[in-house]
Amino acid sequence: MAISPPTGSRTRVAVLVLASVTLLTVGLRDAPVVREVREGASAVIDPVEGAVDRVTAPVRNAWHGVTDYDDIQRENDELRAQAEAGAAAGVQTSDAERQLAELSASLDLPWAGNVETATARVVSGPRSNFSHAIEIDKGTDDGIAVGMPVVTGGGLVGRVSHATGGSSMVELLTDPEFRVGVRLSTTGDLGTARGQGRDDPLSVDSAISPGAKVPEETGVVSSGVDRSAYPPGIPVGTVASSRQGSGGLALDLDVDPLVDVDQLSYVTVMLWTDGG
Amino acid sequence: MAPRRLTPLRGALVLVVALVAQIAIVADLRVVGAVGDLMLLVTVAAALTGGPDRGVTYGFFAGLAFDLVLDSPFGLSALTYAVVGYGVGLVCGGLFRPTGWWPLAVAAVAALLATAFYTGVGHLIGIPYPWEDLPAITAAVALWNAALVLPVMAVMRWVHGPTEPDRLEVVLR
C-alpha cells in the first residue's frame, strides 16, 4: 500500500522545507540580520524565562535532588577531602602565589591578572540537546563583547558568542564548533583543540611527531599565538590519551577539560579581544 | 468547535508556552544526561491530530521559534521539525489511525527520527554532532514525548477543534 498526500500538502511542505533550507544557508553565513533577530528574541524571552525560572525553582531543585543524589554525595566527599588537604597546602600555596605574581608581572601574562574581568552569574544552561551554550547575566553594558574568553578559577570555559545589553551567551568549549589554539605546558608543542560534545574530551590536532610520547596528565594551555582569539596561558585541560592521527604524520590527543561545564554557577569574562 | 479566527492565536499561544517551558523548565531537567524537547512534542501532537499539513506547519514554526533562542545553526530545527511533522502526519493519516497507546509509540519513534535527522544534517553542513550521543538524547526525548503526547494532543484539539481535515485529504492507493 502506498500513500500520497494531496497536491496542496506537497506544495506546503515544499515551500516550508525550502524556507528552512534558505534560513539555514543564511544563518550559516552569520548574516547580521539573523544575529539581530536572535538578539531581539533574546531580549523579549529572557525576562519571561527569568520569571518562570524563579517560580519553578523548587520543582527543579526537587528533580535534581532525586536524579543527582549520587553525584551530590560524591561531590560532598571530594570537597571534604579537598578542604582537609587545603589546610595543609595553604602555606605552600601562598608562597607559590607570591612567586607567580612576580613572574606574571615580569612576563606580562594576561591570564595572571593584567586583563580586566567581569564576573557573571550563569542564569541558564544549554537549552536543547544540541546546544552547547550557557547564558550569563552580564552583557555589553558591562563591557562584554562577542569573542571574549570566559574562564573560571579552573581554566577556560568558552567564549562569548552573543551579547546584548544585560546578558550574553557563552559558547562552551565542549561545542563541536569550538576551536582554541593550544600548547603543551611541558614541551610547548602547538595544536588546535576542538570540542566533541558533552562529557567527551577535547580533541587536539597536534604537530607532534607520532613517535613521541606525551605523558598523561600533561597540562594544556591556550597558545595565544599571533591573531589568536585567546590570550596565552589560559589552562584548558590535561592530556587523557594520545593516538596516531589520520595519515600517521602526527599525534592526536584527547584532553579532559579542567572545568566541569555542567556545574557552573559563576564565570569570569576576560575583557580581552583578539589582539589584546 | 473553536472559532476559526481564534485558531491561529491559540496555536501561537501553544508555541510560546511550549518555548518558555522548554527553556525555563525542561532544559534543566536531565534524564540519562539529555533533556526533553517540547517543540518536537507539539509538532508530533499536531501531526497526529491534524495530519501532514498541520504537522509540517507546526513543525516549521515550532522549529523557527526554537532556533531564535538557540546558538545552533539557524533554520536547522525548523527543517528537522517540518520534515518530521510531515512524515508523522503522512504515515499516521494514511496508514493507520493512531488510537489507544499508538500515539506514545509514534511520539517515541519521532524522537529517534528527529534526533538522527538533526545530527545527520549537522554533519552535512560541517558540524560534527557526536553520533555517540544519539541513544541518550533519543531516550530522553522519547520518554518526555511518550509521557506528554496524549495531553498535548488534547491541547491541539482545543486549538483546532475536533476536526480531522488531513485524514480526509489523504488518498490511499
Give all domains of chain A, ordered by start, each with its CATH number.
27-67 (no CATH), 179-259 (2.40.10.350)
Give the model's pLDDT for residue B170: 46
Q: Which residue of B has its CA nearest to A24?
A: B75
Which range is least confidently modeled, A27-36, A61-70, B159-168? B159-168
Q: Which among A60, A129, A132 has the least Cβ separation from residue B25?
A: A60
Q: Which among B20, B79, B94 has the least Cβ separation from residue A21?
A: B79
Greatest C-alpha distance within chain B? 47
Pairwise CA distance, residues B151 & A37, whole Å: 32
Cell of residue B41, nine digits: 512534542
pLDDT exceeds 70 at position B165: no
Give the model's pLDDT for residue A51: 86
Residues of B78-89 as b/e, b for ≥16 C-beta within 10 angstroms? bbbbbbbbbbbb
CB B24, CB A52: distance < 8 Å: yes
Say how many residues make up chain B: 173
Residue A79 sits at φ, ψ, to 5 deg, of: -65, -40
pLDDT exceeds 60 at position A182: yes
Q: Which among B28, B33, B129 has the least Cβ separation from residue A130?
A: B129
Q: Where are the domains of chain B?
A: 4-161
Pairwise CA distance, residues B79 & B98, whole Å: 24
Give the model's pLDDT for residue A27: 85
Q: What is the distance of C-alpha B114 from the center of its chain?
A: 9
pLDDT exceeds 70 at position A97: no
Second CATH level (architecture) for the domain B4-161: Orthogonal Bundle (1.10)
pTM: 0.79
Instruction: For residue range B28-37, list pLDDT tens digits in order.
Output: 888 888 999 9
ipTM > 0.85 (yes/no): no
Position A249, amino acid? L
- Establish if B118 touches chain A: CB-CB under 8 angstroms: yes
Instruction: For residue range B75-126, list pLDDT tens digits in order.
Output: 999 999 999 999 999 988 766 666 778 889 999 999 999 999 999 999 999 9
Check CB contact under 8 Å for B53 and A28. no
CB B72, CB B64: distance < 8 Å: no
Q: How sure is the predictor about A10, in pLDDT bands with cuts at 50, 70 and 90? A: confident
Instruction: For residue range A190-236, list pLDDT tens digits in order.
Output: 889 999 888 889 998 877 777 778 888 889 999 887 677 888 889 99
Interface residue of A10, A11, A12, A13 to substitute, partner B, most B CBs within 10 Å: A13
Q: Is B171 exposed, middle or buried (0-12, 13-18, 19+ CB in 10 A)?
A: exposed
Smallest Cα distance from B78 to chain A, Å: 6
Give the model's pLDDT for residue B89: 92
Which range is least confidently modeled, A58-72, A91-105, B49-63? A91-105
- Establish if B95 touches chain A: CB-CB under 8 angstroms: yes
CB A275, CB A227: distance < 8 Å: yes
Q: How sure is the predictor about B136, in pLDDT bands with cuts at 50, 70 and 90? A: very high
Say what percent of chain A tops pLDDT 70.
80
Residues 6+ apart with CB under 8 A from B130: A176, A196, A197, A200
Strand partners, A270: A117
Mean pLDDT across chain B: 88
pLDDT exceeds 80 at position A100: no
Give the model's pLDDT for residue B96: 66
Q: How many CB pairs below 8 Å do chains A and B form together?
A: 182
Give the model's pLDDT for residue A107: 46
Give the model's pLDDT for residue A105: 45
Cell of residue B40, nine digits: 518536537
Check CB contact under 8 Å for B64 and A132. no
Smallest Cα distance from A168 to chain B, Å: 11
